[in-house]
Structure 1
Amino acid sequence: MACSFRRAIAAKLSRTLQQPEELLLPALSAVPVFRKQQTPDFKLSLSVLRLNGILPTTADIQLQTEDLTRQLKPDCVVQDISAGSGAINFTINRKLFIQKLLETFDNDAKFGLNSELLNTLNRGTTLVEYSSPNIAKKFHAGHLRSTIIGNFIANLKEALGNKVIRMNYLGDWGMQFGLLGAGFTQFGSYSKLRDNPLQHLFEVYVQVNREAEHNDNLRQEARDFFRKLEEHNPEAVGLWQRFRDITVEEYQHVYKRLGVRFDVYSGESLHQSQAQEVVEQLQSRGLLKTTEKGTGVVDLSVSGDLSNVCTVLRSDGTTLYITRDIAAAIDRKDRYKFTEMIYVTDKSQANHFQQLFQILPALGHHWAESCRHVPFGLVKGMKTRTGEVVFLEDVLDEARTRMLLNMSQSKTTKELEDPEDTAEKVGLSALIVQDFKGPLQSDYSFDWDRILQAQGDTGVFLQYTHARLCSLLQKNEDLAAHFDPSLLNEPSAITIVQHLLRYDEVLLQSSQDLQPKHLVNFLLKLCHLTASAHRELPVKGSPAEVAQARRCLFRGSCSVLANGMKLLGVTPVTKM
């Protein structure tokens, strides 16, 4: 609906400027709102028009603004037009504005997603690789960010109309399995593997790494085991397959708790033979160089002096992670015909992806331009009451336990059928919102007390607001669906509707830079505006027509809040 108002303004501008509406639409944006200050609904930025070559750059921009404002006349849709600082402000007819926007919530799941602002997006096939833990290890808390960020990107792309392939690329190959295989032979126990599989494999891995630091024979056994894997030795492959199956089964329990799903469980192991083909292709194109140590490298330096190389082959002929990643990218393009591929990993891997995106075009794969790395920073100070966190399930358990305690001490907590389930969902939303509030590349310090606060900019506040709105709507569900928009003339009501106008812009911005902070901050502001309106605009005790109009307003807030939370990977609760 916001875009039909944009379209009306663009049509008016099109007639005046003699320019196509499609060129003018991107220069129109909803005006950010403030709780105690009335604002226009849309503004036209003249600097954007200049950038697009629609206006000459010779005249003073403020003079152009005032001149163009004089040429534009209000009508039945646009009731006021005024000159701002380098922008023209537009205010929509209040009754029409409120009625048309709130009526769209009869089909609320699509609100904001069918906006013409989003028509320019490329809606092809998006492959998102995220989470990607190493098998034979418990799910480390450090993988939480990749998992929830990748899930958000996949949710967003899917909502915007892309066909999305959610891929978990397991670290299931490499020298670590040489170490684990050699270690299990010496320190492993099949009974412990059966009783507590990942914990036992973790203990074996820690022990073998410690021993290998001062044991040359053990390091050689590890190299021998990995070579057996690469040569498809049945005994080595059988043990490796058992480790892999156990790990995937255990991970699926954690993913279920996180509300995360995958279409494909892939892994480095699937591309070992293709990695050898990559080595041959690099060799045939003259890109593979051999160093004095016998390793195979690709020269990525501008001058060709080997000052910047990427190692793709060990001296013993085995492949590396980068070699298998090159093979994996080529295989995925052939298999899935993706339009874009997005890798979600921590920022320490930025150089790895820079090398990957350089080597692929050198091999003739120019579709590498459609590949993208979304890096993220580290979480500092994540602890439970028992000390430093190692495993993600410890974090989830701690969030649930702390949230249960907070709920039991709150005077506003409702009687719940399953308090533990509610605490789990609210605790997870607290983790996600804390993670998504700032730029993904930033490191941040973790603080349980701060993230679980019911007031302030937290996931708990989002859930509390949603539950409160659900309660209000349920208590007043007998009210008629139709309403008189002229009864929503209070500033706090108009401010909410104006804020909802920005939802499609927030989705567009999020789709461009893949940063969830835009959506998080939009939803948090919606909660603050709704809390103010809830105090000032009671539904209960108001005349029937006024109550109907206000219920429609709060239904709109609740709908956008729920849909936005789901995009973030948060399950909205209806009671807490």
Structure 2
Amino acid sequence: MASFFRRKIAAKVGRTLQQSEEAIIPALSAVPVFKKQQSDDFKLSLSTLRIRGILPSGGDIQQQTEKLASQLEQDTVVEAISAGHGAVHFQVNRELLVQKMLEQFEQERGDAFGLNSELLTALKTGTTVVEYSSPNIAKKFHAGHLRSTIIGNFIANLKQSLGNKVVRMNYLGDWGMQFGLLGAGFSQFGCEEKLEKNPLQHLFEVYVRVNKEADHDEVMRQAAREFFRQLEQRESKAVSLWKRFRDITVDEYRHVYKRLGVHFDVYSGESFHQDQAQEAVQQLQSHGLLKTSEKGTRVVDLSPAGDMSSFCTVLRSDGTSLYITRDLAAAVDRMQEYHFHEMIYVTDKSQSSHFQQLFQILDKMGHSWTDRCRHVPFGLVRGMKTRSGEVVFLEDVLDEARARMLHNMSQSKTTKDLEDPEATAETVAVSALIVQDFKGPLQSDYTFDWDRMLQAQGDTGVFLQYTHARLCSLMKKNERVDAVAFDSSLLLDPLSITILQHLLRYDEVLFQSAQDLQPKHLVNFLLKLSHLISSAHRDLPVKGSSLTLAKARLRLFSGACSVLASGMRILGMTPVDRM
């Protein structure tokens, strides 16, 4: 257990430097492991101690390191201390490492491992609102919304695992002139039978057709403006049709979300804040923040010098609200309803300036909680194609991923007989999509690659699932070993120690992910764990070993499996037991 060792080392260093262990802990970290090379377990960063004012910032840092290392003594917990480059290294007692780590697996089964660490319990918790996915209604789920959906789901899962009450919010694009076009278009081109049979496909076809018409037909443009006016005036016929389109869309989306393993607590939307947007404008007016531009639009001056060199439009010249006006109203409403500790928006990086302006205006309005709002931007996906050509809809991607995975499984000699091979193929394929997306920094664009994504070996979601299924199979085949007494001294070989050293880092990886909301730290940790497990399968056999040795190795594999499954669930993957 990382916590036990971190505290013992921090207390030892604290006594020498006359500091509390809490002051030392932020400078301590587990040492990353390398497969072929034995390493120490923890290191103490001298530069962090300097930054925190615990050590003088002047002088030679290496001399400071060597001096501190020489002042610290070994004991029953720490069996070796050495000076590295600007860090003091600690190796803990090997048998104690095995005992304490495997003891923690027994005490904290499943998803709880590592979550009681002092690093994580020190994080502030409260209500976290995560807004993600947010597609436009009356349109099929576009493949471009995939990243927002799975990134937002990861953030919500992470925050929930760390003890926050999470509100998972889908803020639908369900207002605006597009509904004027769709409403007017449906009255001319709509077909009830087609709407019943394939609702979103038919609405999409109507929308494409009416847009073409409106390009050259003023009568159609006027009909669209009139329908939207009726909608804004809440005329029953227009509202009834709009509500029908919205309900159809949400039902269809729920089906896609289920395939992705994603759910929402709240389906909100721009329409919810249409009336409140006018209240937000009045608040801007009362704060003296509203100005009129040369074009007659109402704007908020965001320039540092107050010279209108930078401003944000919040009302059109005809007095109608814009996307940002509704976002202002939504933010205020959510604070009133949820009293959130933090609110996180997950959208592509093209919206970064929008959120910068949103947060600036909220701050100017005097909302002290503005610093609790955060935008997580992400890059674009290039080259997402199916065999039939360019991808438009996410369901096409999911269908193709499942089909390709099913084919790969049918070709593999290790594939088991499964009750529902299609369901397993889809679960594994979604995992492959997630890992391909999460391996790098979120803000980077990346190129979609079917073949690399679905490989069973290498750094893929398929490899994580294969590793988990293999561990589950190993444990199921050896259930009889449970009755044997456990002997921790049988796990002192280098590979067992390396796996346990790697697991020491789990709470630090979650802590790092909580700081920057990047899934790459957890993905890379789990991939490294899976590669270590793969080596252990080969070099630490259970079959053919004595019962006591088999029991010890199974305990190690069981602990590694629980951490692997826990991390996969946080990423948004559903671990499979067989594949």
TM-score (norm 2): 0.98
Say whether the 8 Å CA contact 1:140–1:391 is kept in structure 2.
Answer: yes
Say whether the 8 Å CA contact 1:227–1:318 is kept in structure 2.
Answer: no
1:265 partner letter: Y
SS in 2 for 1:265: strand
What is the distance in 1 between the residues matched to 2:223 and 2:489?
Answer: 80
What is the distance in 2 between the residues matched to 1:243 and 1:464?
Answer: 41
Query: Which of 486, 503, 507 is residue 506 of structure 2 equivalent to?
Result: 503
SS in 2 for 1:218: helix
The aligned counterpart of 1:22 is 22
SS in 2 for 1:439: coil
The aligned counterpart of 1:49 is 49
1:515 partner letter: Q
Say whether the 8 Å CA contact 2:115–2:121 is kept in structure 1.
Answer: no
Q: How does 1:336-375 map to 2 (within 5 A)?
A: 336-375=338-377
The aligned counterpart of 2:141 is 139
SS in 2 for 1:75: coil
The aligned counterpart of 2:78 is 78
1:399 aligns with 2:412: no
What is the distance in 1 between the residues matched to 2:59 and 2:316?
Answer: 64
SS in 2 for 1:557: helix
The aligned counterpart of 1:201 is 203
1:438 partner letter: G
1:412 aligns with 2:419: no
Deviation at 1:465, TM superposition (A): 0.6
The aligned counterpart of 2:274 is 272
2:173 partner letter: G
The aligned counterpart of 1:101 is 101
Say whether the 8 Å CA contact 1:440–1:515 is kept in structure 2.
Answer: yes
The aligned counterpart of 1:557 is 560
Say whether the 8 Å CA contact 2:473–2:578 is kept in structure 1.
Answer: yes
Sort the Cα spacing of 1:313 and 1:482 in 2 relative to 1 into closer, same or farther, 3 A.
farther
Task: Encode CA deviations 1:57-97: one digit per residue, 9 max, x unaligned.
Answer: 22211111111111110001111111111111111110011
Query: Which of 546, 551, 555 is residue 548 of structure 1 equivalent to?
Result: 551
Gaps of 5+ in 2: none
Deviation at 1:364, TM superposition (A): 1.4
The aligned counterpart of 1:325 is 327
Sequence identity of aligned pairs in percent?
Answer: 74
Task: Encode CA deviations 1:239-275: one digit per residue, 9 max, x unaligned.
Answer: 1011001111111111111111111111110100100
SS in 2 for 1:328: helix
SS in 1 for 2:278: helix
The aligned counterpart of 2:178 is 176
Deviation at 1:99, TM superposition (A): 1.1
The aligned counterpart of 2:161 is 159
Deviation at 1:573, TM superposition (A): 0.5
SS in 2 for 1:479: helix
What is the distance in 1 between the residues matched to 2:485 and 2:335?
Answer: 51
What is the distance in 1 between the residues matched to 2:217 and 2:20?
Answer: 74
Deviation at 1:474, TM superposition (A): 0.9
2:437 partner letter: D
Task: Encode CA deviations 1:101-130: one digit per residue, 9 max, x unaligned.
Answer: 012112222111110111221111000001
Say whether the 8 Å CA contact 2:487–2:552 is kept in structure 1.
Answer: yes
What is the distance in 2 between the residues matched to 1:145 and 1:180?
Answer: 27
Task: Encode CA deviations 1:293-349: one digit per residue, 9 max, x unaligned.
Answer: 222111111222222121111122211110000000000000111010000011111
The aligned counterpart of 2:291 is 289
The aligned counterpart of 2:476 is 474
The aligned counterpart of 1:437 is 439
1:236 aligns with 2:238: yes
The aligned counterpart of 1:3 is 3
The aligned counterpart of 1:90 is 90
The aligned counterpart of 2:33 is 33
What is the distance in 2 between the residues matched to 1:368 and 1:482?
Answer: 56
Gaps of 5+ in 1: none
Say whether the 8 Å CA contact 1:313–1:319 is kept in structure 2.
Answer: yes
The aligned counterpart of 2:128 is 126
Say whether the 8 Å CA contact 2:41–2:89 is kept in structure 1.
Answer: yes
What is the distance in 1 between the residues matched to 2:361 and 2:222?
Answer: 31
Say whether the 8 Å CA contact 2:485–2:548 is kept in structure 1.
Answer: no
SS in 1 for 2:303: coil
Query: Which of 192, 217, 220 is residue 215 of structure 1 equivalent to?
Result: 217
What is the distance in 2 between the residues matched to 1:313 and 1:96?
Answer: 66
SS in 2 for 1:478: helix
Q: Which moved more, 1:24-33 or 1:174-183?
A: 174-183
Query: Which of 534, 540, 544 is residue 531 of structure 1 equivalent to?
Result: 534
What is the distance in 2 between the residues matched to 1:62 and 1:208?
Answer: 72
SS in 2 for 1:441: coil
What is the distance in 2 between the residues matched to 1:335 and 1:45?
Answer: 43
What is the distance in 1 between the residues matched to 2:291 and 2:180?
Answer: 26
Task: Encode CA deviations 1:511-561: one digit per residue, 9 max, x unaligned.
Answer: 000000000000000001111111101011011111111111111111110
What is the distance in 2 between the residues matched to 1:105 and 1:99?
Answer: 10
SS in 2 for 1:213: helix
The aligned counterpart of 1:428 is 430
The aligned counterpart of 2:492 is 489
Deviation at 1:482, TM superposition (A): 4.4
Sort the Cα spacing of 1:76 and 1:573 in 2 relative to 1 into closer, same or farther, 3 A.
same
The aligned counterpart of 2:575 is 572
Deviation at 1:285, TM superposition (A): 2.0
Deviation at 1:221, TM superposition (A): 2.3
The aligned counterpart of 2:61 is 61
Q: Which moved more, 1:470-479 or 1:294-303?
A: 294-303
What is the distance in 2 between the residues matched to 1:483 and 1:268?
Answer: 59
Say whether the 8 Å CA contact 2:401–2:429 is kept in structure 1.
Answer: yes
Query: Which of 312, 315, 328 is residue 313 of structure 1 equivalent to?
Result: 315
RMSD of the TM alignment (CA)?
A: 1.0
Instruction: Give 4+ residue runs of structure 1 displaced > 6 Å after superposition.
Output: none
Q: Which moved more, 1:63-72 or 1:500-509?
A: 63-72
SS in 2 for 1:172: coil
Task: Encode CA deviations 1:391-446: one digit per residue, 9 max, x unaligned.
Answer: 11111111110000000000111111111111010000000000000000111000
What is the distance in 2 between the residues matched to 1:291 and 1:498?
Answer: 62
1:528 partner letter: H
1:467 partner letter: A
What is the distance in 2 between the residues matched to 1:104 and 1:284?
Answer: 58
Deviation at 1:191, TM superposition (A): 2.2
What is the distance in 2 between the residues matched to 1:288 and 1:274?
Answer: 17
2:25 partner letter: L
What is the distance in 1 between the residues matched to 2:460 and 2:451?
Answer: 11
SS in 1 for 2:530: helix
Aligned residue pairs, count: 576
Deviation at 1:28, TM superposition (A): 0.5
Q: Which moved more, 1:66-75 or 1:217-226?
A: 217-226
2:210 partner letter: V
The aligned counterpart of 1:249 is 251
Query: Which of 377, 380, 398 is residue 382 of structure 2 equivalent to?
Result: 380
Deviation at 1:226, TM superposition (A): 1.5
